[in-house]
Structure 1
Amino acid sequence: MKNAVKVLQIAFTYIGTVVGAGFATGQEILQFFTRYGKWGALTILLSAFLFIWLGTKMMLLARSIKAASYEDLNRKLFGETVGKGVSLFTLIVLIGVNSVMLAGAGSVFMEHLGLHYQVGLWVTLICTYLLLGRGIGGVMKLNSVVVPLMITLSLAVIINTAGSPGAARFFTLSTDSGLAAAWTSPLMYTAFNLSMAQAVLVPIGAHTESRKAVIWGGILGGAGVGFMLMAGHFALSAYMPGIVQFEIPMGHIARQLGATIQLVYILLIFMEIFSTFVADVYGVTLQLKQRLKVSPRLISLGILLICYLTSQFGFSSLLSVLYPVFGLFSLVWAVMLAMYRQTGDGRD
């Protein structure tokens, strides 16, 4: 029973870390999968397989080397010097992405709840700081609440879409994009999300005693991400191509389920932003703790302050430069992880 609870906690944290705001709004699913029409469902299956395989492998490797943070994993994959550089680049991108997520939390409060933008920022920052004091256990417990709600909403969306006239369109939807682009897209998507998720998955693997719990947590987590991708793709396909015009396409679909479901969906978007934000800040804190001889609390405060300041001025222009570079880097990183061979029982 103890192992079963641990497996679910790992799986839910894995799902919650990957399923951020871009995923929740539907934009990521639209851009990486649904735009490729009938190929979308098959490429989601490929993506789910990669999430299961590489996510589990990452956690097992972290467990075998007793990694203190994702920097230890990168040193193992790339060597001492290159590994440090890779971790530093990942750190910059993670802080940038978290600044955008924090700004997104402020926007949810302002646009959908009628509260001031700054209220959203400060609620997120204060709750994050309080939760970080609970360590990886706090991160996992948060996701154990948020992710089941996300899965429930996904099921509601599937049931609603199944009764619509375009329910079968994800089998027949045409696309102007080439086959090479369609099959490259899931590789980029999975590599990018796994390289970001290492900030959380590495400490989870390192802190889990049971190897079986890590394996089954990785399998369920990767499959869960695949299920949520498929649910979103199924719903979005039914409303193509008109759904492309909406900034939050899944929000438009949720609106059709009634005012209560729409409010739940909006709160869920915030919770997804919050859970990913907390997890990433925790991972970055662990990495900086290896480099700086100051207390983790002080490091976390510093990271939150940087995120707050950059969320005021916008980070989108810098991210537009960093994202493509980080995307290519993620592919190299994922290939290195895939090619790494462990010996014996998984302990190096």
Structure 2
Amino acid sequence: MVDTNEKMSWINVIKIAGVFVSWAIGSGSVTGQASLQYFCGYGIWGYAGIVVEALLHLFLLISFFKLGHRKQFKSPLDIFTYYCGDKVGKVFQLLAMGLLYSAPVVMISGFGAALNQHFGMPSRLGSVLLGILCLVTILLGLKKLVDIIGSIGPFMIVLTIGTGIYYLTQHMGGVAAGIEMAPTLNLSRIAPTWWLAGLYYTTCTPLQSAPFFSATAKSFKVRKELIYGAIVGVIFYAAADIVMASALFANIEEFSTMMIPNLYLANTISPILGFIFIIVIFMAIFSSCAPSMFTLCASFCEEKTPAYNKFAVILVIASVLCSMLLPFDKLLGLVYGVYGVLGGIFVLFMIAKQIQEKKAA
């Protein structure tokens, strides 16, 4: 699709922002495990790390939306050869396929861990349930996927921020002490410094987000909607990171021992809220997991063909089985730690390509 003279729709802006928030909040953010590993472990400097990740997220998201809207790539993975050239681009395509497979494995494991912590149910049962829902969704195709995750994103972000703010009103006195104590605790830290952690928080995602968001841009005619949607989405996502990190600081010694700290936080407010938060965790993990699986399927097969459907079934079964191999927190650190470095290299290629284009213009 190309830009038209159609008036910008704020409903579409909210939908686009919702797609980003739903995708980004994922298993790490909504469970609180990412906040511990990327931000809280660095004390007060964790907030500066959130600023770093927000600015880089905005740059990447607008870049992917603009390029996808302009180029209308036939395959989602073509974005890598555009930025990196044929040879290096092919390498990044292979790396991206690895992440598009391994990221859902982490997310499925995260949902199994959440069910186990809250209900005492076997983690494997939760993994199977999420796998079934993802399969049904990706079989419906891109348009339905965008509609579904775009509509649940605003609900998730409002409830997440609301839960964190309410907890803070009851425990504000513990935040300062938690900020001071956090660097002394035996927390898993994704990087040796706060600014590197902020970069890794974002650079672990481009190999996964670039193909999905460039494909998403094809579903919208008005480019301005994509840009405004990116801005709104990143602002609300960063706000959620700040609120939830602050809430974890308020009782950091206890939360640092939890596999799913945000769920424990919700349960301390009310068992009913804890149950609702389980649903939010499920939606958040689903809305990050399904796009990765869809992108991988669409990279090999045309949507809604027998080959696409068979590939989807095999992919989901393999992802569920692999999610049972390691605990959630170990999987999170392993997968996203490695891809944080690889994604950073890809971002450098992006910047170089954009500079080259500006000089040639």
Shared fold per TM-score greater than 0.5: yes
* 233, 240, 258: which one aligns with 1:228: 240
| More off after superposition, 321-330 vs 308-317 | 308-317
Secondary structure, aligned partner of 1:217: helix
TM-score, scaled to structure 2: 0.84
| More off after superposition, 19-28 vs 128-137 | 128-137
Q: How does 1:46-61 map to 2 (within 5 A)?
A: 46-61=52-67
Contact 1:69 1:283 in 2 (8 A): no
Paired AA for residue 56 in structure 1:
I
CA 1:246/1:105 → structure 2, altered by over 3 Å: closer, same or farther? closer
Partner of 1:6: 12
Q: How does 1:271-290 map to 2 (within 5 A)?
A: 271-289=283-301
CA 1:120/1:171 → structure 2, altered by over 3 Å: closer, same or farther? closer
Paired with 1:281 and 1:135, the residues of 2 have a C-alpha distance of 11
CA 1:117/1:45 → structure 2, altered by over 3 Å: closer, same or farther? closer
Secondary structure, aligned partner of 1:67: coil
* 333, 348, 352: which one aligns with 1:335: 348
Q: Percent identity?
A: 21
CA 1:138/1:93 → structure 2, altered by over 3 Å: closer, same or farther? same
| More off after superposition, 39-48 vs 105-114 | 105-114
TM-score, scaled to structure 1: 0.87
Matched, 1:164 2:171: yes
Alpha-carbon distance, 1:243 to partner: 2.4
Alpha-carbon distance, 1:319 to partner: 7.9
Contact 1:17 1:279 in 2 (8 A): yes
CA 1:165/1:2 → structure 2, altered by over 3 Å: closer, same or farther? closer
| More off after superposition, 29-38 vs 119-128 | 119-128
* 297, 306, 326: which one aligns with 2:339: 326
Structure 2 unaligned residues grouped into runs of 5+: 1-6
Matched, 1:96 2:106: no
Alpha-carbon distance, 1:77 to partner: 0.9
Q: How does 1:87-166 map to 2 (within 5 A)?
A: 87-113=93-119, 115=121, 117-153=123-159, 154-166=161-173
Paired with 2:136 and 2:244, the residues of 1 have a C-alpha distance of 32
1:175-196 CA distances to partner (integer Å, 9 max, x unpaired)? 469x971111101111112332
Structure 1 unaligned residues grouped into runs of 5+: none
Alpha-carbon distance, 1:40 to partner: 1.7
Paired with 1:322 and 1:40, the residues of 2 have a C-alpha distance of 21
| More off after superposition, 99-108 vs 189-198 | 99-108
Paired with 1:140 and 1:166, the residues of 2 have a C-alpha distance of 41
CA 1:81/1:165 → structure 2, altered by over 3 Å: closer, same or farther? closer
RMSD: 3.0
